[in-house]
Structures are given as structure tokens and as C-alpha cells.
Structure 1
Amino acid sequence: MKLPVYLYGHPVLRAISTDVTPEYPELKKFVADMWETMYNSDGVGLAAPQVGRNDRIVVIDADPVADAFPECKGRKFTLINPEIEILDGPVETRNEGCLSLPDLSESVPRVEHIRLKWVDDDFQPHEEEISGFLARIVQHECDHLEGKLYIDHISAIRRQLLRAKLSAIITGRKRVDYPVRYAPQKGRK
């Protein structure tokens, strides 16, 4: 089932997510719905807060960007309760976009090398060192679990320059091709 993507300004995007336990109701169905939603929205990653749930769940399929970033070839994950450790290495600034901030992109500095620990949707543990653009995707999606958006990593001046576009998203004047949920407004359901 395609779920609506919650857009910038909705409070669910700013809440810190809670850990998921094996007793999570209908976990596999929810994860399948997240995959369908991500693909329907042309994303490479989606975090549970983006579909209205503050649970520590992320899906990533980085393969669509593998032509430009070979480390993404064939990389598909379901991350439950992911933990990131920043490893030594360079910080790279690259453009990022987000399904919750449609039609916007900004240059965001991020480390290029991380260690990722998670469990999959069968609660089997995994640990891996990840580098390059794939590390950026993982960090971006895991930021959602902490109530952070990529625009939190840009300068105050850049955010000020985006103010009108952000306001259009918040007030529901921004239209997109996938189902969305706008921020609550007085007089709007």
C-alpha cells in the first residue's frame, strides 16, 4: 500500500524515533508498504517518520544512482534500529534532496566513511563499514530518526534564501506527484 509522505513542517519529522522490538505489529507489512511508497515516489531511501511513524525503520535502495556512484550498485537495505559510528576520513559536500522537501536540493557536508550497525526485519544483526555516496544516503535517512532534516546541515543564510520555498511546502501550496500529508494548519484537515 502506498503511504503518504509527510512534508516539511509536519511535527512528526522533528520527533526522535523509538526503537523497534520483535513484537512490532505487522512489521513486514509496514516495511513492504515503505518500499512501495519509496519506489512510487522515486526515492532511494525512506525513513518511517516520513510516512508518519516515529519508529527506527529505514529502507534504502541505492542501485538507481550506481552509474554515478559505483559503491551503490546492488545496495538494498532494511535498517531496523540503525546506529552510525563516524570513522576517520574526509568530509565531502554534495547535493542532497528529500521526499519530504520536494523539488529542493542543497549542498550538504557529510563524512565519507561510517560504521553501520542494524538489525534486519528478521532481527538478525549486521555491521558494515560504508563509504562514499552510500554513506551519505545512510546518514541522511538515519537523520530522520533523530528528527533532523538535511537543511539542518546548511547555513542559516541558505535556509533564509529557501524561506519562500519552505513556506510553500508548509502551507500546502507545493504540489507533488505522490501522495503527501501536509503540516497541520488551522482550518485544514
Structure 2
Amino acid sequence: MNKTLQILHPFRVLMLPGWLGSGEGHWQTRWAALHGFEVVEQDDWVWPRRGDWMARLDDVLLSDPRPAVLVAHSLGCQLVASWAAHSRHTARVQGALLVAPPDTERADMPPQLHNWRPIRRQPLSFAAVAVVSSNDPYCDPARALGLCADWGVIRIDAGPRGHLNAESGLGDWPEGLAHVATLGQALHVSP
């Protein structure tokens, strides 16, 4: 077992894909295959309903008593914020890595995402780190900075890497896995 997996061993790592899911070349899919992380499957990836996705996350968290670390990409980040603002089960989550949160309030967002407005902006009740790209086509860097501040999360600038998805050429994305390990390590030393 490598050091990252040892650090994360006490935690259940739940992958939260964004709109349309994460395809074969996506780092989330690769991490699930390589490290055994669990992908939270949604009933509808094409027309995602915020309430349905939140209920599904609750169901998955309640199915296992282990504390969870959430690893969200794109719309999965908005899921984390919405879920954390409404769920009575937030104590089951110890931390989250939020990658490339989209601005679902933009005028040019697809109609399938309109029910993800308004963006929930309450501070998260658990430790979280957000990795953002300086040229993400779905979120202006200043807007990403504002979301991170509202959620009370640490922001890491990944540089010009697009939407931090398969098209970004990240492969197994070891940098991202290192962020999860750092988060897991911090959770071990927290009171």
C-alpha cells in the first residue's frame, strides 16, 4: 500500500463526478480503478437535479459508518456545497477536495444546469481544499476565488489547465492525489 493510501486508509474516499459523469480518461475514473475509491453514481447524468443528487449523496454516506473524504469535480463541487448547506449528515464528512468548481450562474451555462442556481455559498463545516485553473472555461478565476472564500476553503491555483478534466491531459494526476493525501494527513492531526 503506498503512502497516500495508508494516509487515507481510515477514510472512505467518495468520488463525485460532474455533469455527464467522468469518462474513461478522466482522473476520477482512473483513481477509482487504481486506488479503489468509490464513485457516487447518479441516476441522471444528463439532466442533473440538485435535490436528487443531494439525496443520493446522503444515501451513500449513510450506507457505511466510516468517515468520508469527498473528491469532487466540476458540478460535483456544487453538489458538495448544496449538500453541506442542507444535510443533517455533514458530520460523516471529514474533508473534501473540490476540483474546478463551475459557475452555474453564468448566462451561457447549458439549460440542464439551470436548477443549480443559485449557488449555495454557506461555509463548509469540514476541511476542504479547492484546486482551480486560471483558464477554466466554466469559471472565471475571480469568480472561483469568490466561491472559495464563501465556502471557507483553501484555494490552490493549478495554472492554465483548462477544466482539470480528461481534455487537460492530467492522466492519473499525481498532483491531485497529493492534495488528497495532504488533506488526509491534516485530518489525522486535527483535534
Higher Cα radius of gyration = 1
TM over 0.5: no
- RCO (CA 8 Å, sep 6+): is it higher in 1 or 2? 1
- TM bucket, shorter chain: under 0.3
Instruction: Calculate the TM-score normalised by the size of structure 2.
Output: 0.27
Higher normalized strand content (fraction of residues): 1
Instruction: Calculate the TM-score normalised by the size of structure 1.
Output: 0.28
Higher normalized helix content (fraction of residues): 2
